[in-house]
């Protein structure tokens, strides 16, 4: 072994650019840890006297850039980022409950959230009551030990919309924090913090990234609330990678443009389904026939309603299986929000953990097809569904 070559290979090339110019895009900070000149320097960073980084599990320049962009978009005081949407949800909940506490949650939720609340929190002696958040008396479900109400802006998969303002006001009167999953809406459509939510969570894997190539989660709230979540996350360690931070920051640059196109296509597709004889029901708040249409217009800060919709097919479960096979290029994907249109079968994918009774209570039929409308020419999307439906 040539020791001279080995020493040079290990020690040379440290980051010290000598240039009057700066990178046009944010660099990728692929470093797990950071070096210090003195012990005092380390102490200054730990104590907060000086800005700096120690270990990427608790902070990285790329993550901080992403947080700054997201805080600005959302108009939030503070932001934390994680390795998945479920990590963001779990950290937000776990930082705000202790053994013996109680949570009220909507019974129409993403399946992973539902399972976390129903099954995993039992191990920590946290009780969860699932309610019909649209029709039940929420106040009557709140107990003295209730700490959180958990819900979604646009519910998955039924696209329900409830009055966030009223719910937040009532919960705050009782000392209950409201956590809202805004994944389907995105900040381009709705900003729940402005309607009173305490914490907003995202599966940034979905629209915030929008290209089906990153796993990520984001939490937004006030400084005190996010600080508690950050502490819990730093101990449990669901850290977002430097590369994913960079990709997600890049993707946010086009978020508003993408969401507008997704929404325009979804509305046209919903109108097509609404008039099709092989579709029993269409779930999309952008339709004037939707009972959520007027409320959505009040809550949403735009005239768009998102790229997600669902339909109940005539023929039930078998019809869903058949149309998935008949579609030509629209893929069957247990996720959503990519640039290309895709379909999902909730009872077999996102909500497969729910029992038949729970599905019935949540009004999720076995003939429900969920559609993530992409950015293609809308006539091509409709044409493909038309040909597939003709074969049923």
Tokens 């109680």 belong to 102
- Catalytic (active site) residue 352: no
Helices first, then strands: H and E counts in the chain: 14, 12
- Catalytic (active site) residue 228: no
Among the options 110, 114, 150, 202, which is catalytic?
Answer: 110
Is the bond preceding residue 157 a cis peptide, omega within 30 degrees? yes
- For residue range 197-226, list pLDDT tens digits in order: 999 999 999 999 999 999 999 999 999 999
Domains and CATH numbers, the chain: 39-252 (3.40.640.10), 255-390 (3.90.1150.10)
pLDDT tops 80 at residue 187: yes
Mapping DSSP onto H, E and C, the string for the chain reads: CCHHHHHHHHHCCCCCCCCCCCCCCCCCCCCCECCCCCHHHHHHHHHCCCCCCCECCCCCHHHHHHHHHHHHHHCCCEEEEECCHHHHHHHHHHCCCCCCCEEEEECCCCHHHHHHHHCHHHHHCCEEEEECCCCCCHHHHCCCCEEEEEEECCCCCCCCCCCHHHHHHHHHHCCCEEEEECCCCCCCCCCHHHHCCCEEEEECCCCCCCCCCCCCEEEEECHHHHHHHHHHHHHHCCCCCHHHHHHHHHHHCCHHHHHHHHHHHHHHHHHHHHCCCCEEEEECCCCCCCCCHHHHHHHCCCCCCCCEEEEEECCHHHHHHHHHHHCCCCEECCCCCCCCCEEECCCCCCCCCCCHHHHHHCCCCCCEEEEECCCCCHHHHHHHHHHHHHCC
How does residue 20 score in pLDDT terms, banded at 50, 70 and 90? confident
Among the options 67, 147, 177, 206, which is catalytic?
Answer: 206
Instruction: Give residue 340's pLDDT.
Output: 98
Among 191, 104, 112, 205, CA closest to 153: 191
Torsion angles phi and psi, residue 9, rounded to 5 = -60, -35
Among 161, 341, 187, CA closest to 266: 341
Greater confidence (298 vs 9) lies with: 298
Greater confidence (357 vs 291) lies with: 291
pLDDT tops 70 at residue 2: no
Round the average pLDDT of the chain to a whole number and report it: 94
For residues 242 and 228, is the Cβ–Cβ distance under 8 A?
Answer: no
- Catalytic (active site) residue 53: no
- Catalytic (active site) residue 206: yes
Greater confidence (357 vs 310) lies with: 310
Kindly state the tokens that stand for 337: 């929000």
Instruction: Give residue 196's pLDDT.
Output: 98
Instruction: Give residue 355's pLDDT.
Output: 82
Among the options 29, 82, 181, 292, which is catalytic?
Answer: 181
Interatomic CA distance for residues 89 and 69, integer angstroms: 20
Instruction: Give residue 260's pLDDT.
Output: 97
Percent of the chain with pLDDT over 70: 97
Dihedral of alpha carbons 115, 121, 123, 126, sign: negative
Among the options 44, 57, 64, 260, which is catalytic?
Answer: 57
The whole-number average pLDDT for the span 258-268 is 98
pLDDT tops 80 at residue 98: yes
- For residue range 347-380, list pLDDT tens digits in order: 887 788 778 888 888 788 999 999 999 999 999 9
Instruction: Give residue 3's pLDDT.
Output: 60
For residues 116 and 141, is the Cβ–Cβ distance under 8 A?
Answer: no
Kindly state the tokens that stand for 229: 């979540």
Instruction: Give residue 17's pLDDT.
Output: 65
pLDDT tops 90 at residue 122: yes
């Amino acid at each position: 072994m040539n020791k001279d070559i080995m020493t040079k290979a290990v020690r040379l090339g440290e980051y010290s650019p000598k240039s009057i110019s700066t990178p046009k895009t944010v660099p990728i900070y692929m470093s797990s840890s950071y070096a210090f000149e003195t012990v005092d320097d380390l102490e200054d960073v730990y104590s907060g006297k000086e800005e700096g980084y120690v270990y990427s599990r608790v902070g990285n320049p790329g993550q901080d850039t992403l947080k700054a962009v997201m805080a600005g978009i959302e108009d939030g005081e503070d932001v934390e980022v994680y390795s998945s949407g479920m990590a963001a949800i779990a950290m937000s909940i776990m930082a705000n409950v202790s053994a013996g506490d109680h949570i009220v949650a909507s019974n129409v939720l993403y399946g992973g959230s539902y399972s976390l609340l129903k099954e995993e929190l039992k191990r920590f002696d946290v009780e969860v009551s699932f309610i019909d958040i649209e029709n039940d008396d929420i106040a009557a479900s709140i107990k003295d030990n209730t700490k959180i109400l958990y819900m979604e802006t646009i519910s998955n998969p039924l696209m329900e919309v409830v009055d966030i303002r009223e719910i937040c006001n009532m919960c705050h009167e009782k000392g209950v924090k409201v956590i809202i999953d805004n994944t389907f809406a995105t900040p381009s459509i709705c900003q729940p913090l402005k309607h009173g939510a305490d914490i907003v969570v995202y599966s940034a894997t979905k629209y915030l990234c929008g290209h089906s190539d990153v796993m990520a989660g984001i939490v937004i709230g006030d400084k005190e609330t996010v600080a508690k979540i950050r502490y819990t996350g730093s101990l449990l360690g669901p850290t977002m990678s430097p590369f994913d931070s960079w990709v997600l920051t890049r993707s946010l640059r086009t978020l508003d443009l993408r969401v507008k196109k997704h929404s325009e296509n979804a509305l046209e597709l919903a109108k097509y389904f609404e008039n099709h004889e092989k579709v029993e029901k269409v779930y999309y708040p952008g339709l004037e026939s939707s009972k959520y249409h007027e409320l959505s217009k009040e809550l949403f800060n735009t005239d768009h309603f998102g790229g997600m919709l669902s339909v109940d097919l005539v023929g039930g479960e078998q019809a869903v299986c058949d149309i998935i096979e008949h579609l030509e290029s629209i893929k069957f994907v247990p996720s959503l929000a990519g640039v290309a249109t895709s379909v999902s079968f909730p009872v077999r994918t996102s909500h497969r953990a729910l029992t038949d009774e729970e599905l019935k209570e949540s009004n999720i039929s076995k003939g429900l097809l969920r559609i993530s409308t992409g950015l293609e020419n809308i006539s091509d999307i409709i044409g493909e569904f038309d040909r597939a439906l003709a074969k049923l």
